[in-house]
Structure 1
């Protein structure tokens, strides 16, 4: 989309020659009712990354959106996390930046594409996915998030050229006001989980950020939300131009094959309960969800010290380590995978017998995503949720969403014994 003139010598790193790899090396047979990535006329360097990731057929949101976004259209998409929407907008961004290379002198801190997301964990996950998809293209990805590494992020913005910037609203606005980020030539703007940004009070920051980008007629804008409330549709109408609207129906809320049990337990007894449930029931493949990254880290360490093979999956885990961890979990080398909501969404591992919610999630929809990791493809699964004095009040909202009363039990004393 860029029409800036000048010499390619000042651009980002060079793209590998097409002779190094061909889509013919990645065979995917046509399948009725499915769209192959081969069918989308993607650049070879993008197809090579798609092949590396093992993507063969588009998910529904990818199939419905890419045909429009690759053509430069604005899009408003209703889709939950875990549907493949991240890859959908990243593939569209990367393809556009490759097909329309910036030929002028690049200045640090001046991105061509901007992705705004509400949480640090989601930003890190998007950036990890982007790193995998750009690895053959020479495009550069940077993150800007609150709470950590202020000086390091500022230094990178001042010193390094960036093609795709992934950011949380508050920190991005801070750097923008200090002129460390220049958004005046953003060609593609993505607003991810707009409903969550609305509920978290970020819309004033997002408005200020958007005012710093080119007018909507001079950029492509993609907005994704799990819900289409009147306010979200109003914002979408303000920020997009003649947008295509795509809706993906959410997966069935909770599978009949998942038995859902809530243990009423004090916070101080939760780890003992977790340990004893895993040990006494000899669980082989279980996912444990907690609300915060520091909590997932501590749980992984305590489980490991207690003799249970466990590994961590959170936004701070790099893509290579993430892949290794998932392979070990699939093979059975790791019995317990401890994850945050953002890191855990989109994980499809066959044979997960149990999901344990160490905390009840603050967003009822996250409960649905969590327990959906088990009871897949007709197999039976069990979810245990630990509800204590600080999070039991979330149960009514979860029950209202899933349309069922949850079975609440007090654990036997045997399940609360301290690990030996």
Structure 2
């Protein structure tokens, strides 16, 4: 077996014909030997002048790089005004054709940085008419360690290249091989994004030829190293042109370990080294805190925290597949739009789940560390560590899912007696002293107590408020725009909220009804009955109960539950939708209560019948004695 350095050494020092490369009888295209395109790839009437971004001291605009107009048009559509630090530092060197080693955490904008460099190079130096172009011969190759990351890079490339004629193809494992083969065969590919294993399959079948790759990007090299992909990557790189004049190489890693730097030395030539790292390994844009709870309180805390704070895009991390599966199922049962992301989920379903999460159809992703690292979605507001990671480095990767590209985020850890000992190691790894606090009592109330709108504990209103009567509840709901009760005269209740409207948690339905009330005013209720909106499951219609203004909320809820159960019209009657309303559990409890009541009534009826029979027997006994005496 050759030593580790021999792979690239042979490629670098040997004559070009000494290695049997694919199609080695064809002349290799030399990078940047062609005439630059006039106008930088300009198409149409759009010009960068239309994208006005003021000059700000200390910030770098994309206008300052002289990027092709078609690329600037896409950048304008994406709303990218100023560069992130990694973009400002790396793009100039990439445009000069230099090899580069970049150190940056995920979410810093490095993907856009290397894509802009690649696209500018391909657009400014197009192939000439006499240069042979075959299908399956990419001009740029991007290698990523995971399917999700590769697909995200490909999607970003499509977005940045939408006004150009550059073609993008992704080859990843776990997806339909035939579809990928057809995509390769459809037309020549400019940018190929791939995972190592699937790419090798296509290279061995001779459906991909890497002999003319002009730009090579190795993303998350440290992860490829830890996941054991380096032998595959070496095999791939042997199929590409020599480093230097024939191939530009960009290597990115979250860490610069000795192993990563040794690989960088093999695969790059005179590289520029860029390190973008804050004082801490975790981004300053993420607020971090630890809730100290018992293991039995974790779920109540999670569920109530999600609901009370109205969180719409969060990732919850667990350590084991079976634990994350159970957690996702329980959240879904409790009316939270949650989905599981783990290695056991089929790839097509994982992609659909990520798309639904991106579009807001799913609010909470429950993920394992391996699957979670492939989640590259902007706008994630919260990362919740339901269980502290056993490896402190995983903590860094977890919270890297939020606070991306300059946005702010929040990281919450639930630390209990089983894992709180891991906190010091996380603090050493990140260089951050974590704030450890006990959650408010309202956040750890048992199931049911946190959301039942009853008496002085109406969870649909802020914790600082307390209501006892319908009038007070309506006033609070009007001022806070919280789904609690909807004011309406009894005779107009059906028009206020149509029975066929489903999913009463939709803000459009709630706000439209509640906002009609004058803020803080009770006058609307003084002259008659009001209607209380009782929250239902998504599959059940809205129920509106009529009540007197001074009637206790609890009495209204109980009356509605009882009447609905009797009519069997609404199976999942719960209570006022609140922060974390547990509709399914309440429905089950109502059904169990009804069954218990029916059983009790049957038992009472049986006892009454037995008593009646005993009484009749007792009455008959004296008559028998009288006959005997006669």
Per the normalisation by structure 2, the TM-score is 0.54
Q: Which of the pair has the greater relative contact order for Cα pairs under 8 Å at 6+ separation?
A: 1
Contact kept, 8 Å, 1:78 with 1:248, in 2: the verdict is yes
Q: 1:263–1:100: structure 2 CA closer, same or farther, 3 Å change rule?
A: farther
Deviation at 1:69, TM superposition (A): 0.7
Confirm whether residue 127 of structure 1 aligns to residue 154 of structure 2: yes
Contact kept, 8 Å, 1:140 with 1:161, in 2: the verdict is yes
Q: How many corresponding residue pairs?
A: 397
Contact kept, 8 Å, 1:143 with 1:166, in 2: the verdict is yes
Spell out the pairing of 1:8-27 with structure 2 (5 A cutoff).
18-27=43-52
Deviation at 1:381, TM superposition (A): 5.0
From 222, 225, 233, give the equivalent of 2:253. Answer: 225
Equivalent position of 1:316 in the other structure: 351
Confirm whether residue 243 of structure 1 aligns to residue 275 of structure 2: no
Confirm whether residue 190 of structure 1 aligns to residue 217 of structure 2: yes
Deviation at 1:357, TM superposition (A): 2.6
Equivalent position of 1:141 in the other structure: 168
From 230, 233, 237, give the equivalent of 1:210. Answer: 237
Question: For 2:446, what is the secondary structure of its paired residue?
Answer: helix
Equivalent position of 2:289 in the other structure: 259
Equivalent position of 2:59 in the other structure: 34
Confirm whether residue 402 of structure 1 aligns to residue 430 of structure 2: yes
Mind listing any 5+ residue stretches in structure 1 that lack a counterpart? 9-14, 329-333
From 408, 413, 425, give the equivalent of 1:384. Answer: 413
Spell out the pairing of 1:48-67 with structure 2 (5 A cutoff).
48-67=73-92
Deviation at 1:283, TM superposition (A): 3.6
Q: Could you tell me how far apart the structure 1 residues matched to 2:416 and 2:182 are?
A: 43
The one-character-per-residue Cα deviations of 1:193-240 (angstroms, maximum 9, x if unpaired) are 111111111111111100000011311000111111122111111111
Deviation at 1:395, TM superposition (A): 6.2
Deviation at 1:297, TM superposition (A): 10
Q: 1:176–1:274: structure 2 CA closer, same or farther, 3 Å change rule?
A: same
Q: 1:219–1:388: structure 2 CA closer, same or farther, 3 Å change rule?
A: farther
Question: For 1:414, what is the secondary structure of its paired residue?
Answer: coil
Q: 1:388–1:42: structure 2 CA closer, same or farther, 3 Å change rule?
A: farther
Q: Could you tell me how far apart the structure 1 residues matched to 2:195 and 2:321 are?
A: 17
Q: CA RMSD in A?
A: 4.3
Deviation at 1:28, TM superposition (A): 0.6
Q: Could you tell me how far apart the structure 2 residues matched to 1:301 and 1:71 are?
A: 52
Q: 1:111–1:52: structure 2 CA closer, same or farther, 3 Å change rule?
A: same
Deviation at 1:120, TM superposition (A): 0.9
Contact kept, 8 Å, 2:146 with 2:374, in 1: the verdict is no
The one-character-per-residue Cα deviations of 1:250-281 (angstroms, maximum 9, x if unpaired) are 46345695322365648xx97676434423x4
Mind listing any 5+ residue stretches in structure 2 that lack a counterpart? 1-29, 342-348, 450-581, 586-630
The one-character-per-residue Cα deviations of 1:162-217 (angstroms, maximum 9, x if unpaired) are 11111111111121112121100000000011111111111111111000000113
Q: Could you tell me how far apart the structure 2 residues matched to 1:62 and 1:94 are?
A: 14
Q: Could you tell me how far apart the structure 2 residues matched to 1:126 and 1:293 are?
A: 26
Equivalent position of 1:153 in the other structure: 180
Deviation at 1:401, TM superposition (A): 1.2
Contact kept, 8 Å, 1:128 with 1:319, in 2: the verdict is no
Contact kept, 8 Å, 2:290 with 2:434, in 1: the verdict is no
Contact kept, 8 Å, 1:360 with 1:387, in 2: the verdict is no
Equivalent position of 2:110 in the other structure: 85
Deviates more, 1:96-105 or 1:211-220: 96-105
Confirm whether residue 367 of structure 1 aligns to residue 395 of structure 2: yes
Q: 1:189–1:387: structure 2 CA closer, same or farther, 3 Å change rule?
A: farther
Per the normalisation by structure 1, the TM-score is 0.78
